[in-house]
Structure 1
Amino acid sequence: MAEKEKLRIDKYLWAIRVFKTRTLASDACKAGRIKLDGKNIKPSYEVKIGDVYQVAKGIERKVVKVTGLLENRVDAKTAVNFYEDITPVEQTQAFKSMFHAPILKRDRGTGRPTKADRREIDDLKDNFFEEQEENQD
């Protein structure tokens, strides 16, 4: 494990496997999806041990605390030792519940849905999402 005193945030996020490529990490910084104390940071920002970063990756939100500096990308089991995921439980559960949405599938060859079919599908979707909101309250 190569540890360094100075390390760029884009390289760090790539090394701990938050982003698949360093370019994606750099683009996320430029787009304002990586924040330190609520402020956007540039890809060249130097990471310090103890910093807490808010990372927005698509619909997923993470809060990551730096526990060690890692210059090169390593396997996931090793990478876990260099950061601490302190994302609030509510946020993690909200993200995971999005994947439990109903999958509406039509049989192959049945053609386009009729107006009545579409209304039934819309009712099913609306009822599902209303139930999810009630369960979160």
Structure 2
Amino acid sequence: MRVDKYLWCVRYYKTRNMVTEACKKNHITVNGQVAKPSKEVFPTDKITFRKDQIIHTVIVLDIPQNRVGAKLVDIYRKDETPIEAFQHLELLKLSKEHYRKHGEGRPTKKDRRDIDGFNLDFDDNEDDTEQ
């Protein structure tokens, strides 16, 4: 089975086109060699790929006939991705939220006016103290 079809069948990617794009960017290797989308995979092959800032390592146990349900995925692959990689991703997400909460985005016009109004009030108070 082709590597693009295999990774799609075991639900690592949503579409085969996404797998093809990852192959073109050299994010997928089979047994240590950069793989094209048409590279054939066999049982006992080791597939390494980068997705969502995590380097996944998968060993092919069996070849599925077509896309399998999420509960049946473990029959066809053995995931050897270190747990530290997932913990690092969680830590990265938490550190990003520390600086700015999710969904806050850029200030609105009202926020900007409030900020400008606050700055003007602060400047007025400085002028009063200098006299």
TM over 0.5, shorter chain: yes
TM, length-normalised to structure 2:
0.71
Alignment of 1:65-76 (within 5 A): 65-76=59-70
Aligned identity (percent) is 33
Aligned partner of 1:25 among 19, 23, 37: 19
Distance in 1, Cα, partners of 2:6 & 2:64: 6
5+ residue gaps, structure 1, are: 1-6, 115-137
CA distances 1:104-135 after superposition (whole Å, capped 9, x unpaired): 24686322767xxxxxxxxxxxxxxxxxxxxx
In the alignment, the residues of structure 2 paired with residue 71 and residue 19 of structure 1 have an alpha-carbon distance, to the nearest angstrom, of 17
1:77 is aligned to 2:71: yes
Match of 2:3 in 1: 9
Bigger RCO of structures 1 and 2 (CA < 8 A, at least 6 apart)? 1
- The CA distance in 1 between the partners of 2:86 and 2:51, in whole Å, is 13
Aligned residues: 108
- Aligned-residue RMSD, C-alpha: 2.2
Which amino acid in 2 is paired with 1:111? R
Moved over 3 A (4+): 105-109
Whether contact under 8 Å (1:16, 1:82) holds in the other structure is yes
User: Aligned partners of 1:50 and 1:59: how far apart in 2?
Assistant: 25
Instruction: From the CA coordinates, give the structure whose radius of gyration is larger.
Output: 2
Scaled by the length of structure 1, the TM-score of the pair is 0.69
Residue aligning to 1:39: 33
Counterpart of 1:93, as a letter, is Q
Secondary structure class of the residue paired with 2:37: coil
1:60 aligns to 2:58 (yes or no): no
Runs (5+) with no aligned partner, structure 2: 117-131
Task: Please identify which structure carries the higher helix content.
Answer: 2
Deviation string, structure 1 residues 66-112 (Cα, Å, up to 9, x no partner):
11111311211112221111012222221222222225246863227
Conserved in 1, the CA contact under 8 Å of 2:31 and 2:45? no
